[in-house]
A and B are shown apart, each in its own frame.
Chain A
């Protein structure tokens, strides 16, 4: 293996003998960042986070320091911090590792962040299916409380903060930050419209609220430990720090791998790190940032200009794994969920699988999403069960185009992008399926074939 991981967040997680209790964490230098943080002024930590350039790891890649700047501090209302541990974007399994193997890192990152934004109460919204993760976090919080890293007058600093672990109950839309907030208020997770409901101004209980992903909050701990300059030296300008890539699908060694941003290309990740494809198989497509991100076709060439004016001309294997490069090729790094598909994959079935997911998860508030997404699912499912029609491709595209940009939350985009990109890149397969079935129908044969993805 040529390429070595460089772990920052998961540095200890898989080391032999490393356990998830507080003693082990402290032995490895744990809670020193918090002590250091308490020597700093809250606003200086905010500045450090801004200077570090750390971008959100939950999906949108928004700079954390900038988000914190938008906090409404004049209202006089309490400020809340929420850790988004809903981890529900298909293909993503990094937050799980942190929660299970190094929960105190998250708690320390949260306390540093809470102190910086002056929140007195913080929440971890954890997806309901993480039964074990929930227990681990509850125990870790009690351990931290016993050592006064959390609770009243933390380490004699005069600053008090509590963390509540709040369990979801199986709805993907709780990952969307305003849906999460509604859910935390004890309601259905119906996302709120922005503006005016930007959490930093009108969040939980209509109070200023910061929502950050698990990995982002861990990064804050490292920004404090290392200082913003050193943190920003990892990766490239605008893409600082490391990222945990979760690789799944048709590779020899699926798993989670941490690298500096742009420290590995997609080709290296697939072939060197993950041991390549299964025997005799060829790469067909990659979804690089969770199922919502636009699919890349293995034989595409990606050309254009970078922000700094230099030109790029990449094959799929050359794409540097970072925020900007993946958006340059028309997709996104999203939540870091890299799904690999080889030449055995039926793309219509794969899209049908994805559409099934979104149809199941729409919260139902907006007509285009509530009606359009199940409609797209119905079409792709029908195509797979023998009822494909020639006009389906255009119909699918027109439905997706009418959802995108016309909904309350970004779920509308999340559900449309797969359809739009699958059709843009694999139109031939959708059309071929319709033709093939038409021919079989003419010959009086059964058009339904056995499927494996739907």
Chain B
């Protein structure tokens, strides 16, 4: 396990704050995933050991929560909200634009590894629909033109992700 020192420090600070160590399971998954990109079996075992749990205790949450990934995603993670308010504002059309531009079906990673495209459910910003996240950065009102702009920025590597 090759975690950054800063990740290890955060973990050491965080764990003792909880009355029960197991509560730190989800936060640790986040921290390790942020550092390494996804949660490998090795990571899962490491987290389990750190919290004095069995690997299955971590596996069961990794397979439950959609944000936790067990495979390396593309360089850019594009999440398109497809829930009702965004759909009413054209989210499905926006998503098709992304699919075509990156030759990547929603739910997969493009062959060149540039983007992982996925549908997500309501991101609690429905007043500014359609909502798209690129990495940790939220983009709102992503209709046809805005989507094209975003696509260009992703292709040229100039898109902001946080």
Give the interface of A toward B (CB within 8 A): 78, 87-93, 95-96, 121, 127-132, 162, 164, 166-172, 183-189, 205, 246-250, 254-256, 287, 291, 337, 339, 341, 345, 350, 353-354, 356-357, 360-361, 451-454
Contacts and interface: CB of A to CB of B under 8 A. Distances in A.
Nearest to B60: A188
Contacts of A249: 84-85, 88-89, 126
A453 B87 CA distance: 5
A96 B131 CA distance: 14
B32 interface: no
A283 B106 CA distance: 32
Q: Is the interface of B mostly helix, strand, loop or mixed?
A: mixed
Contacts of B4: none
A167 B60 CA distance: 17
6 nearest interchain CB pairs?
A: A169-B65, A186-B25, A248-B126, A186-B22, A170-B67, A248-B85
Nearest to A184: B23
A186 B126 contact: no
B127 A353 contact: no
Nearest to B90: A452
Contacts of A250: 88
A356 B96 CA distance: 18
Interface of B: 17-20, 22-27, 29-30, 51, 57, 60-61, 64-68, 79, 82-85, 87-90, 92-93, 120-129, 133, 136, 138, 162
Between A128, A129, A130, A162, the greatest number of chain B beta carbons within 10 A of the residue's beta carbon is seen for A129
A166 B124 contact: no
Nearest to A78: B19
Contacts of A130: 124
Contacts of B26: 166-169, 183, 186
Given A128-B67, A186-B57, A354-B84, A90 B122 contact: yes
A256 B128 CA distance: 10
A447 to B, nearest CB: 19
A187 B25 CA distance: 8
16 contacts: A90-B84, A90-B121, A92-B122, A93-B124, A95-B124, A129-B124, A129-B133, A169-B26, A170-B68, A186-B57, A188-B61, A255-B127, A339-B88, A356-B82, A357-B84, A453-B92
A88 B68 contact: no
Between B24, B67, B162, the greatest number of chain A beta carbons within 10 A of the residue's beta carbon is seen for B67
B112 to A, nearest CB: 26
Nearest to A254: B127
A30 B145 CA distance: 42
A202 to B, nearest CB: 15
Contacts of A89: 122
Contacts of B123: 129
Contacts of B64: 171, 188-189
Contacts of B138: 132
A167 B30 contact: yes
A88 B22 contact: no
A350 B84 contact: yes
A118 B111 CA distance: 55
Nearest to A95: B124
Given A91-B126, A254-B129, A452-B93, A353 B68 contact: no
A294 to B, nearest CB: 14
B121 A360 contact: yes
B84 to A, nearest CB: 5
A90 B131 CA distance: 13
Given A183-B26, A186-B23, 17 more contacts: A78-B19, A87-B124, A90-B85, A128-B30, A132-B138, A162-B17, A168-B65, A170-B66, A171-B66, A186-B26, A187-B57, A187-B61, A188-B60, A249-B88, A254-B128, A291-B122, A339-B84
